[in-house]
A and B are shown apart, each in its own frame.
Chain A
Amino acid sequence: MRFLTSELLIKNGIIFDPINNVDGEKMDISIKDDKIVDKVSKGARVLDASGKIVMPGGVDIHSHIAGSKVNSGRILRPEDHEKDVEYKTKIKRSGVGHSIPSTFTTGYRYSTLGYTTVIEAAAPPLKARHTHEELNEIPILDKACYTLLGNNWFIMELLKENKLEECAAYVSWMLEATRGYAIKIVDPGGVEAWGWGNFITNLEDEVPNFSITPREIVVGLCKANKMLNLPHAIHVHTNNLGVPGNYQTTIETMDSVSNLYSGDKPIIHITHTQFTGFKGSSWLNLSSGAPEIADYVNKHKHVTLDLGQIAFGDTTTMTADGPFQFFLHKLSGNKWVNCDVEAETGSGIVPFTYRRSNYVNAIQWGIGLELALLVKDPWRIFMTTDHPNGAPFTKYPLVISWLVSKKAREKALAKINSSAKRRLDIPGMDREYTLSELAIITRAATAKALGLKNKGHLGIGADADVAIYDFNPSSMDPSKHYPKLKRAFGNAHYTIKGGKIISKKKEILDCVDGRTYWAKSRISKDLESSILENLKDMFEDSYTVRMSNYVIREDYLKIPEKIEVTAEV
């Protein structure tokens, strides 16, 4: 049945909308076209949501869903697709899934979880064209991508010469050229150093040929980010990822920019913190660094974190951190793809299976959950699995069940490596996320951290992205009935994107195209022309492509949406 009016009324749902301070109240939500409005006419289509949770559509702040690295992962792993095939329907295209779903399947599966906005976490600038080609093909979701800048030659050169304004101008040009949304820093300096056979092991190590340290890169880009007024903070994957004892590096990285904080919004985001929260001097005495990190975060307001929680099972790890992937390949003996992106960054891919019985994996599982339970302010910690590094995003409902229910955690604890269990603090942690907190860490806080004003809430004027879950909080306790909650969150009763009903239960009812956000920071004309002059020479010297071929035109994006800000320079 098709309705001519594009008005929709969601009746009697139990609303969780933390940005507007709505915590489990019975309310109606009115939608006209693609926005949430005050009220609709009598002819509006009515969706009965009585006894069901209604939340804004989920916003995933860090997920690897598109780009050359994701695609190489697909090519590397035919066995990943064999077990998980999606047949085509009248609306859906066929595809394959599991840890690296094909583009269409990614869109369908995210939307059946109630997610409507997902950010690709690492786009190498030179490969951004490929990233956008895949983002264009991912249906339903609104998307964006972070541009990798932490090992960029020009940035390292400009920062070494202390040309901060030029660096900021270059970042602004880069985001426009790659249609990126934020500054992503991966293993600052470390990927470049590894290209010369060296390892960066702490923030004061010098990057060969550039005589710059990771600390200078992080601080420099953080200053540039502030100058440009970009909507999101710098998005940092710290040095020493996956190395025992790296929790100290994480804290030092957070602390390196603490004096730049001016009190308004967080200025640094540490991503997949689980992988950088290892304490101990070797794999044998590995333990959780989560208490120390959480303690720092609780005392300092300039940081946000996301979890990078692992779930046991088979997945594919992929990051721009080439050296770490090489290390993982040696450790696991699994197949490996490596790539050096000229003058910019690198990347690697290794399939990996997290095992309950494995001491290190069990500790990793604990670190993620401890972080979630120990960081007091839910507005500064976000739920991710660093898809697909910790687990595919389809495991989100499982992670949710661990957060809301001590009983669910105890059940998982009973099966993990027993010496790991003894070393974790989880058994003594009683905190259980409320549904409102859950809405914060999965949509409200992430939308806020990304500076997406129309996302993550259900206030008037917000985008009509709504998720309805079949779980009645007035008659059921999430903590006790966690299997029911897990099912509900794995299988949104309705997902509404841009005012259209996209999915009901697992079935996709409609398929729309989502926007791609990119950030434009307007800098002064003088600065812009001076940096463009320099850039041409740099491109001639360092790149295999011409500068004019490097820039992605805005019309290359299917539905571009520019977020424009004014820079201070």
Chain B
Amino acid sequence: MAEITFKINKILRVPVDSPDLNPDSIVGKSLDEIRNIEIWEGNRKINLGEIFDVNGEQVDKIEDLSIRVIGDVSKVKRIGQNMSGGNIQIDGNAGMYLGNKMKDGSIIVSGDAGSWLGASMLGGRIEVKGNTGDFVGASYRGKSEGMKGGMILIHGDAGNEIGCWMKGGTIQIMGSSETYPGMHMKNGTIYIDKNCLCRAGAQMSGGKIIINGKIPEILPSFAIESIRGSARIDKEKIQGPFYLFVGDGNEDGEGRLYVRKEGNDDLKYCEDYLDMEV
């Protein structure tokens, strides 16, 4: 595996739009060609080489290509957009739309990532060691096509509306999330290891959300179905017990919302409804 490094050489003051910093645009190009890739810094068109020191050697096969971005690129948007292979390692914080619409390959971020991480992604794997912003694996604003496949693993916390309009794949958050995880979700799995602020699964019509920590309340449009001993993320088994809710009733949805029983005493009242004949 050959590595091309991009070391940021200045402090960015305005957002940089860089959809072509991805393996597909870089594979088979000489270093000079890579340095000449056009990107936008604010309203100015610049070359990649103006803000990055590019080192390494030309790589002709996407499978062999490893891109290493060094430094704080939290103002650089769309790294890894549409990538179909290879891998990207970011040593620092990443910006918005990291891995937007990516098809395959992998991205690893050692710091935090911005909002829209893996938005509308189709496959591949993203791992973030720190926290992320909002709309992880979500659809673009207004669109009803969220993440369709692949895997996103976040070791820290995530923001609002993760997995919005999600249609497949898995999002695992080892920290907490804010409001509306799995909004409009159709399929796929969201796992939140710690707490969720509220309103999980609003308007979901399918798929699975597992909350392993505390959630203060469940939306009134969800109905409790049973108490389960465990829940599954793909092949991995998480020991419960879990309350299993089905909803969102407003959408005639069949989404499944697992919430850990232990620690969620505020939801104990739901158990009264379990034996009720409807």
Interface set of A (CB-CB < 8 Å, partner B):
76-80, 82, 88, 334-335
Give the residues in chain B near A76, CB-CB below 8 Å.
142
Bound Cα distance A88, B42 (Å): 13
Shortest Cβ gap from A310 to chain B (Å): 21
Shortest Cβ gap from B245 to chain A (Å): 24
Asked if B52 lies at the interface with its beta carbon under 8 angstroms from chain A, I say no
Bound Cα distance A76, B144 (Å): 13
Bound Cα distance A173, B43 (Å): 47
Interface set of B (CB-CB < 8 Å, partner A):
43, 139-144
Q: List, sorted by A's number, 6 A–B pairs whose CB atoms are closer than 8 Å.
A: A78-B142, A79-B139, A79-B143, A82-B140, A88-B43, A335-B142
Shortest Cβ gap from B139 to chain A (Å): 8
Known pairs A76-B142, A79-B140 / 14 extra A-B pairs, C-beta < 8 Å: A77-B142, A78-B140, A78-B141, A78-B142, A79-B139, A79-B141, A79-B142, A79-B143, A80-B142, A82-B140, A82-B143, A88-B43, A334-B144, A335-B142
Bound Cα distance A80, B141 (Å): 10
Bound Cα distance A108, B139 (Å): 30
Shortest Cβ gap from A88 to chain B (Å): 8
Give the residues in chain A near B140, CB-CB below 8 Å.
78-79, 82
Query: Which of B140, B141, B142, B143: most chain A CB closer than 10 A?
Result: B142
Question: Which single residue of chain A is at the shortest CB-CB distance from B45?
Answer: A87
Give the residues in chain B near A335, CB-CB below 8 Å.
142
Question: Which single residue of chain A is at the shortest CB-CB distance from B40?
Answer: A87
Give the residues in chain B near A79, CB-CB below 8 Å.
139-143
Bound Cα distance A80, B143 (Å): 9
Tally of contacts, chain A with chain B, CB under 8 A: 16
Shortest Cβ gap from A184 to chain B (Å): 29
Give the residues in chain B near A88, CB-CB below 8 Å.
43
Bound Cα distance A78, B142 (Å): 6
Shortest Cβ gap from B207 to chain A (Å): 17
Shortest Cβ gap from A448 to chain B (Å): 41
Shortest Cβ gap from B249 to chain A (Å): 17
Give the residues in chain A near B43, CB-CB below 8 Å.
88
Bound Cα distance A334, B43 (Å): 34
Bound Cα distance A77, B142 (Å): 6
Bound Cα distance A12, B144 (Å): 52
Shortest Cβ gap from B138 to chain A (Å): 12
Shortest Cβ gap from B39 to chain A (Å): 13
By Cβ-Cβ distance, the 8 closest A-B pairs, closest first, are A79-B143, A79-B142, A78-B142, A78-B141, A79-B140, A77-B142, A82-B140, A79-B141
Bound Cα distance A334, B144 (Å): 9
Shortest Cβ gap from B19 to chain A (Å): 11
Give the residues in chain A near B143, CB-CB below 8 Å.
79, 82
Question: Which single residue of chain B is at the shortest CB-CB distance from A334?
Answer: B144
Bound Cα distance A106, B140 (Å): 24
Bound Cα distance A161, B113 (Å): 69
Bound Cα distance A78, B144 (Å): 12
Give the residues in chain B near A80, CB-CB below 8 Å.
142
Question: Which single residue of chain A is at the shortest CB-CB distance from B145?
Answer: A79
Bound Cα distance A82, B43 (Å): 17
Query: Which of A79, A82, A88, A335: most chain B CB closer than 10 A?
Result: A79
Shortest Cβ gap from A83 to chain B (Å): 9
Shortest Cβ gap from A429 to chain B (Å): 38
Bound Cα distance A88, B140 (Å): 24
Bound Cα distance A79, B139 (Å): 9
Question: Which single residue of chain B is at the shortest CB-CB distance from A333?
Answer: B144
Bound Cα distance A76, B143 (Å): 10
Give the residues in chain A near B141, CB-CB below 8 Å.
78-79
Shortest Cβ gap from A454 to chain B (Å): 40
Give the residues in chain A near B139, CB-CB below 8 Å.
79
Shortest Cβ gap from A109 to chain B (Å): 21
Shortest Cβ gap from B206 to chain A (Å): 14
Shortest Cβ gap from B201 to chain A (Å): 19
Bound Cα distance A76, B142 (Å): 7
Question: Which single residue of chain A is at the shortest CB-CB distance from B141?
Answer: A78
Shortest Cβ gap from B259 to chain A (Å): 29
Shortest Cβ gap from A100 to chain B (Å): 12
Give the residues in chain A near B144, CB-CB below 8 Å.
334
Shortest Cβ gap from B229 to chain A (Å): 36
Bound Cα distance A77, B143 (Å): 8
Shortest Cβ gap from A537 to chain B (Å): 44
Question: Which single residue of chain B is at the shortest CB-CB distance from A75?
Answer: B142
Give the residues in chain B near A78, CB-CB below 8 Å.
140-142
Bound Cα distance A82, B81 (Å): 14
Bound Cα distance A475, B141 (Å): 49
Shortest Cβ gap from A20 to chain B (Å): 47
Question: Which single residue of chain B is at the shortest CB-CB distance from A88?
Answer: B43
Shortest Cβ gap from A496 to chain B (Å): 30
Bound Cα distance A335, B139 (Å): 15
Shortest Cβ gap from A244 to chain B (Å): 27
Bound Cα distance A500, B144 (Å): 44
Shortest Cβ gap from B100 to chain A (Å): 10
Bound Cα distance A78, B143 (Å): 8
Shortest Cβ gap from A98 to chain B (Å): 12
Bound Cα distance A82, B141 (Å): 9
Bound Cα distance A335, B140 (Å): 15
Shortest Cβ gap from B116 to chain A (Å): 11
Shortest Cβ gap from A177 to chain B (Å): 35
Give the residues in chain B near A334, CB-CB below 8 Å.
144
Give the residues in chain B near A77, CB-CB below 8 Å.
142
Shortest Cβ gap from A89 to chain B (Å): 12
Bound Cα distance A77, B144 (Å): 11
Question: Which single residue of chain B is at the shortest CB-CB distance from A82?
Answer: B140
Question: Which single residue of chain B is at the shortest CB-CB distance from A83?
Answer: B140
Give the residues in chain B near A82, CB-CB below 8 Å.
140, 143
Bound Cα distance A335, B141 (Å): 13
Bound Cα distance A77, B140 (Å): 10
Bound Cα distance A82, B78 (Å): 13
Shortest Cβ gap from B219 to chain A (Å): 21
Bound Cα distance A308, B128 (Å): 50
